[in-house]
Amino acid sequence: MPRYALKIEYDGAPFCGWQRQAGLPSVQQAIEEAIAKIAPGGAAITGAGRTDTGVHALGQVAHFDLAREWEPFRLMEALNFHLKPAPVAILAAARVADDFHARFDAVKRRYLFRLVSRRAPVVMDRGKVWQLRHALDVEPMREAARHLIGKHDFTTFRASQCQAQSPVKTLDRLDIEELPCPEGREYLFHIEARSFLHNQVRSLVGTLERVGAGAWEPERVRAALAACDRAACGPVSPPQGLYLAQVTYPEDPFA
């Protein structure tokens, strides 16, 4: 059976996460239902990452097998037609090797977190950013972020229900970009690693926000990491500012 990879964009607001769940809307279910309309018997898809309720994606990747060959462009067009009106788009489709695996073959995942600081309510990006009404100081946040780069035990920043076998992960990048926005500032957190723990990114961002607000000193983040204790974590940021931005493979399946 030929195997295909999809690059997927979606608004996570109306979904209870990526993974199919009985009685609840999911991105996986929406795509599998679209596949079933063009392929008798349908197909189960496997994603590169399981985004949580309300989390968005700019470049999720998934693979699945079909009973017959499809020209990738036609496959993309057909799926996008049947996905309407769900806020899910297939950006690209590609025929891949039979042993390609969207999750296990990935060598890096990049997340983007958008945080807006301004007094007026966010209108154009409602549901797409975490809005705060107080000001943030980006330099202390950057100083604190440097303590988190590298290979560490991230137990402090791991959800209690996380099923990963080990809390040890290597964080390759945690950059904070500050940009002007109408009557305020926007902060973009660029975070990269091969893999992440459950709620790790949102825990990191929520903790760094406390530093930017002046409630924590940067050194407290280093101490929280070393504590390996969930109780030492700052507040967990809400999901609506988080995006799975890119999944990288040894060879780009969509090149």
> Which residues are part of the catalytic machinery?
52
Contacts of 75 (CB under 8 A, 6+ apart): 4, 38, 93
CB burial of residue 95 (10 Å; 0-12, 13-18, 19+): middle
DSSP assigned state of 47: E
* Farthest CA pair distance, the chain: 58
Beta-carbon count within 10 A of 89 CB: 16
In 3D space, the residue among 201, 83, 68 whose CA is nearest the CA of residue 145 turns out to be 201
CB-CB contact of 76 with 88 (8 Å): no
CB burial of residue 247 (10 Å; 0-12, 13-18, 19+): buried
In 3D space, the residue among 171, 253, 167, 156 whose CA is nearest the CA of residue 206 turns out to be 156
